[in-house]
Amino acid sequence: MAIDKLKSGDKVLIAEACSHHPIGEDIGTVKIPRWLTQYVGGKLEFVHHRGHDFPENLSEFKLIIHCGACMWNRREMLSRLMKARMAGVPLTNYGLTIAYSLGIFERALQPFPAALEVYKTLS
């Protein structure tokens, strides 16, 4: 729901666990920035970090969007989650960001009734 708080000019970190070279309509460098910019209705500043490269100062970001970290183990991802929490910066993943920015978030939460109920309570 931090996506609703984004405004033009805000800085968003897009973090990917692997260090592949994006091509074409890459989801992290092209699609998500486009959909979020459209959702917010203004230009956002996107910063991309790949692999083990992760900024020390997270407080400059309004949101962190992370890939699914399929190339990592649990400990590595929990470390990033903890760093974001300590900096007070919300962190979400690609799938939830896409669902939220495209207006299908409630439908995406339907298989998780408890999460859907929390979302409805907070929104």
* pLDDT tens-digit map of 40-91: 999 999 999 988 889 999 999 999 999 988 888 999 999 999 999 999 999 9
- Domain range annotation of the chain: 2-122
Contact at 8 Å (CB) between 36 and 92? no
- How would DSSP label each residue in 13-65? EEEESS-----SS-IIIIIHHHHHHHHHTS--EEEEEETT---S--TT-SEEE
Backbone angles phi, psi at 90, to 5 degrees: -65, 140
CB atoms under 10 Å from CB of 14, counted, come to 23
Which uninterrupted H or E stretch holds 82? helix 74-87
Token pair, residue 68, equals 């699914």
Confidence at residue 26, expressed as pLDDT on a 0 to 100 scale: 86
Q: In this structure, which CATH number among 3.40.50.620, 3.90.25.10, 3.40.50.11410, 3.40.30.10 belongs to the domain 2-122? A: 3.40.50.11410
Confidence at residue 103, expressed as pLDDT on a 0 to 100 scale: 95
| Rounded percentage of the chain residues whose pLDDT exceeds 90 | 81
Confidence at residue 93, expressed as pLDDT on a 0 to 100 scale: 95
CB contact set of 3 (below 8 Å; sequence gap of 6+): 36, 39, 40, 63, 92, 97, 100, 101
